[in-house]
Chains A and B, each alone.
Chain A
Amino acid sequence: MSDRIPVDPPTSDTRRDRVERAVFAQLQTMRMADRLDAVVPAAARPRRAWLFAGMGALAAATVAVIIFAIRPPAETAVAEHTDTTPSRVVTPVGGTSQFTVGDAVIIATSDTNVEVKRGADGGTTLVVARGSVDCDVPPRGNRPPFHVIAGEVSVEVVGTRFTVTRTPAARVDVARGKVRVKAPGGTWLVAAGESWTPQVTALRTEDPAPAPTPMVEPMIEIDQTPAPAPAPAPVPAPVVAAPSPHVAYQAAVRLASTDPAKAAKAYRAIANGKGADAALALMDLASLVEKTDRDGALAACDEYLRRFAHGANVEDVTWLRIDLLRTAGRRDEARAAAVEYLRQFPNGTFAGDAARMRD
């Protein structure tokens, strides 16, 4: 009998043919959309993306913007940035379109209606009337600005990876770098690990209108500038709340595959706290650095076993520690730890491995 759980997929030629048709129709659509770059006015286009790849690879960062908009956008403050004839991309339900504008690569996903505008300064503005766009944009620095607008919310790329969701309320979660969020009531610079929530917008509606002039760096550090609330209104929450340990942990997990060094720092910071996320962060820190810093990984395991002796993952961490000792060539210590593992977890998930190591 096979070891695997028997789950066999539904297959039929009809189903396969349907997917095949959709794939190749979509590829055709995308090839057409690729040519949009030649259609979109390329005012002051700086350079082709491949030149950036060669010259600015170190500075390049992935910027992912996902905008979900369910209503046509209201008039927005950044409309003045655009002064050339716009182009519009509309994708059907189930389809996607990829196109480039200047140095940005944009994917409009299923059922999306997005207008692309170029400014005289070379800046780009995407106005999402419906659906979502996924943008890969190098950090702006001295490059022309890049904006994404969904309804009354505007997101300006600074150089980061972040997600903006509007289903229907807007929420911005920044995993890396910074974004500038404009909404009725204010403008906020949201940094890695921070979140901008719709409640924040409501709290800020009592604020004076934001200055009409473009904002300059450094932007408002939201969590240090809570909005003044008129009495007897309740004390406003911070506009950008510090992420919960769980949100911070999830961000660190995402970071682990792209920037292990930063992820390790993030795990360490979370591990300094309390609770389940601190325990998980400590374990993941050990896993993350097991190849690059075995002593650090062992220290993290030891710290976990000391601080979270009754934690949910004691067995995992115990085994990870044994594995680290073994790969470090500390055979006697590994064998002793394996014996101890078998004593604690005689029917444990690694019992077979531990028994082989002991013997």
Chain B
Amino acid sequence: MFPLGSVGLSIVERPTPEGEAELVAACIAGDAAAQRALFRREYPRVNATVYRIIGPARDLDDLVQETFIAVFRGLARFRGESRLSTWIDRIAVRVVFEHIRARGRTPVPFVIGEIEDASTVSEAQVHARDGLRRLYAVLGELTPEARTAFALYAIDGRSIAEVAKLVGVSVVTAKLRIWRARRDVMKRAAADPVLAEIVQGRTGRVMTKAEENEAS
């Protein structure tokens, strides 16, 4: 298996609920330092989620930007009924979903990172990028609904119940969308060894007991 990226994950310490509430209040009051703190805390996860749905497209930064604009403009309406991160993720998912729907089922230009010296790119990286391109080419042919649900579940690692919450549908509907997408992806992977290498054994997990409990 070739790595598809070299980004290390870091643990972001989450504030206590009191701290989060204070942060939100400060942001609403227009405290620029608080707003920047919130941005920096949430950026890595939002960036990752948006990227995993949209893939390596030029629109990534624009969509992340649009998400945060919507977050700050709507923060006064956040009632604390869900975790702030969940509320922000729902906005991010909606922004990306609307973008995909508006754009239609068209493949996007393949862009990854900054322009770099071709001589420094290893064969493994080229292979990984090829796999990524093929994966998102397949996802680009799915409906926006199926693509979003599948990407959140199979790529972003969310539970089915989380996917349902983020896209605003029932667990059964989320599950159907995911598996419908999975079927299309696996069909393509059967005839594409590079794609198969990426998705092999990674899209077939069924609901775990914990997910079932969460769903019920």
Contact = CB atoms under 8 A, between A and B. Distances in A.
B91 interface: no
Nearest to B156: A4
Contacts of B35: 24, 27
Contacts, number: 125
Interface in B145-189: 145, 154-157, 168-170, 172-173, 176, 179-180, 182-183
Contacts of A19: 43, 47, 61, 64-65, 68
Contacts of A291: 170
Contacts of B157: 2-4
A345 to B, nearest CB: 11
Contacts of B182: 349
A1 B200 CA distance: 12
Contacts of B19: none
B210 interface: no
B173 A287 contact: yes
Which has the most chain A C-beta neighbours within 10 Å: B40, B69, B180, B182? Answer: B69
B34 to A, nearest CB: 12
B87 interface: no
Contacts of B1: 6
B172 A352 contact: no
Given A10-B7, A11-B47, A24-B35, A290 B172 contact: yes
A91 interface: no
A6 B5 contact: yes
Contacts of B48: 8-9
Interface in B119-155: 132, 135, 145, 154-155
Given A20-B36, A320-B176, A5 B51 contact: no
A2 B48 CA distance: 16
B146 to A, nearest CB: 11
Interface string A29-46: 010000000000000000
A257 B69 contact: no
Contact of A5 (B43, B112, B179, B199): B199
Given A15-B61, A290-B170, A349-B179, A9 B52 contact: yes
Interface in B88-125: 112-113
B205 A253 contact: no
Contacts of B32: 24
Contacts of A320: 172, 176
A353 B215 CA distance: 14
A98 B207 CA distance: 42
A10 B73 contact: no
A310 interface: no
Interface residues of B, number: 59
A94 interface: yes
A313 B65 contact: no
Nearest to A21: B65
A209 interface: no
Interface string A282-293: 010001001100
A316 interface: yes
A287 B155 contact: no
B155 A7 contact: yes
A22 interface: yes
A319 B176 CA distance: 9
Contacts of B28: none
A290 B164 CA distance: 14
B180 A5 contact: no
B166 to A, nearest CB: 13
B43 A16 contact: yes
A3 B65 contact: no
Given A22-B65, A350-B206, A7 B52 contact: yes
Interface string B43-73: 1100110111001100011101110110011
A10 B135 contact: no
A320 B174 CA distance: 11
12 contacts: A7-B155, A9-B48, A10-B113, A16-B40, A16-B43, A20-B40, A20-B43, A24-B32, A30-B73, A316-B179, A319-B176, A349-B206
Closest 5 pairs between A and B when the two form their complex, measured CB to CB: A8-B5, A9-B51, A4-B157, A352-B206, A8-B7
Given A8-B9, A15-B61, A20-B36, 18 more contacts: A1-B201, A2-B157, A4-B155, A4-B202, A6-B1, A8-B48, A10-B51, A11-B44, A23-B65, A30-B73, A94-B62, A94-B65, A257-B168, A283-B176, A316-B180, A349-B206, A350-B179, A353-B207
